[in-house]
Amino acid sequence: MPEYRPDSIEGVRKVLSCLDPNMKVETGTAVPLLGNTVAELCSLSILPTGLVVIVPPRPERPESVVKVERA
C-alpha cells in the first residue's frame, strides 16, 4: 500500500483528492485525529506532526480504507 508522510494538511488533501470523500479512515491508537471519513480528514485545519497516511492500492473496492498511523 502506498505510504505518504505529509508535512501539512494541504499535503493530506492532495494525497486524498482522488478518493471517495465517504471512504472510511482508520487511525492508530496513538493518533489524535478527529475524522472517520476522507472528507472529515480533509476538512481539518491542522495536522499533527509525524503521521503516515496509507492509501489503499485499490480504492474503488467498497472495503477499502485509508489508514493514519504514527511514523
Read off the pTM.
0.86
The single-letter DSSP state of residue 37 is B
Which of 21, 22, 6, 18 has the alpha carbon at shortest distance from 54? 6
Average pLDDT over residues 49-54: 90
The three three-digit cell numbers of residue 53, written as one number? 497516511
pLDDT, one tens digit per residue, over 53-62 is 999 988 888 8
pLDDT, one tens digit per residue, over 13-35 is 999 999 999 999 998 888 887 78
